Amino acid sequence: MRIAVVGSGYVGLVTGVCLADFGHDIVCVDKDAAKIEALSQGIIPIFEPGLSDLVSTNVAAGRLTFTTDLPTAVGQAEVVFIAVGTPSRRGDGHADLRYVYDVAREVAGALNGFTVVATKSTVPVGTGDEVDHILRAASPEADFTVVSNPEFLREGAAIDDFKRPDRIVIGIEDERAREVMTEVYRPLYLNQAPLQFTNRRTAELIKYSANAFLAMKITFINEVADLCEVAGANVQEVARGIGLDNRIGSKFLHAGPGYGGSCFPKDTQALVKIGQDFGSPMRLVETTVSINEQRKRAMSRKVIAACGGDVRGKTVGILGLTFKPNTDDMREAPSIDIIRGLQDRGARIVAYDPQGMKAAEKLVDGVKFAPNAYSAAEGADVVVLVTEWNEFRSLDLSRLKALMQTPVFVDLRNVYRPQEVRKHGFHYFSVGRPEAGGMGSVSEAAE
């Protein structure tokens, strides 16, 4: 099939590349000429495992091209995916839809023959109706239908998620779209990927509901972790105990410094606003947003407590900056609030991340960036593991301790076994495991 993907950011690029790998003829469109030129030369603007190789393979095979020429790409397409960003609107938390609507206006004048216009961007309930209205107002004679086809991609595992999806949600208002969208995803039938056809508004709400529910699971286990610390329980065992219940499941029950990234923060805020707009408040989601914001800052206080209550003039080595491993995405990363909280109390920050330092330089001031984990720990009074990159899972603890000024290790991802770190002479602090030297051992850590 001939498919145009408008927007060559994270979602658009992964969508286009994977569809090309299925055998479709894909044109990725973007207004940013420099980005298009770079992509045409095989230079990928984001870090996503396996993406660069897929781009090279499909460009070489002639199935994938990049252009700034939207009218030509859309005019030749049977399906047009809108995959531009919908960030939180500054000041009120609503999803900013101007990019989606701008694309709709441009697409309208280029439609040629029956075309399915599929919204891949995460958009509030009713956005598809407005896109339909824009297209019909701008091009009354055009033959098209608008569908909602939200993405469910995890950064760091996006290619596998696209090719082996849990579900493919497609919201339609015109039965002609069913056949077309079924053909788009036909290569996945061998994997028995479940296609769920709904109406358009339902599809739009499925995306927000899924992200909000996962954000609530993260926030729930983080609150349980706090209770574990003061009650003498182990949050990892609690999570395992409840996760073995098939009705609950074990995923997203890992205590840590709070959620971040490009999706959960903006989508939970947007769902709160959607509920308010429809007069149906989303109280659980509102509370989730509030708790998560507080938690990020609370992690800096946890580090300060581990250092005896004072970090003024002390050096803190930060391991991991991105909101999760296997991405270079720094959007809403907990590390940002942790670093700022420590700097506010007079700490010096040295940080290392395998992929996120370039983006971090634009978001945090006064941070020294190190070439590796051991350089970040050199002369440090405390090392804080913030993002669970694989290379941080098997650190040489003896070497780490020898480099540090004071052997204090704060593990905000519970990567290590407490006894393993302690036997190397560290004062060890983790999340929701008081026996690991939690918030009750401040004076011991300060000795």
Q: How many helices (H) and strands (E) does the chain have?
A: 18, 14
3-class secondary-structure state, position 168? strand
3-class secondary-structure state, position 260? coil
CA distances (Å), origin 315, targets 39, 119, 383, 411, 417: 40, 47, 9, 16, 24
Contact between residue 29 and residue 53 where contact means Cβ atoms under 8 Å apart: no
Residue 443 to residue 394: CA distance in whole angstroms: 28
- Single-letter code of the amino acid located at 283: R
Residue 63 to residue 3: CA distance in whole angstroms: 10
Contact between residue 379 and residue 315 where contact means Cβ atoms under 8 Å apart: yes
Sheet of 315-319, strand order:
367-369, 348-352, 315-319, 382-385, 408-411, 427-429
Rounded to an integer, what is the distance from CA 446 to the centroid of its chain?
Answer: 36
User: 18 catalytic, yes or no?
Assistant: no
Closest CA to 107 of 64, 75, 137: 75
Instruction: Provide the sign of the torsion angle of the four alpha carbons 236, 242, 246, 248, taken in this order.
Output: negative
Residue 220 to residue 415: CA distance in whole angstroms: 20
Gap between the terminal Cα atoms of the chain: 68
Q: How many angstroms separate the most distant Cα atoms in the chain?
A: 78
The single residue of 28, 228, 263, 307 carrying the catalytic annotation is 263
Instruction: Provide the sign of the torsion angle of the four alpha carbons 164, 166, 172, 174, taken in this order.
Output: positive
Contact between residue 420 and residue 435 where contact means Cβ atoms under 8 Å apart: no
Phi, psi of 76, deg, nearest 5: -95, -5
Catalogue the active-site residues. 263
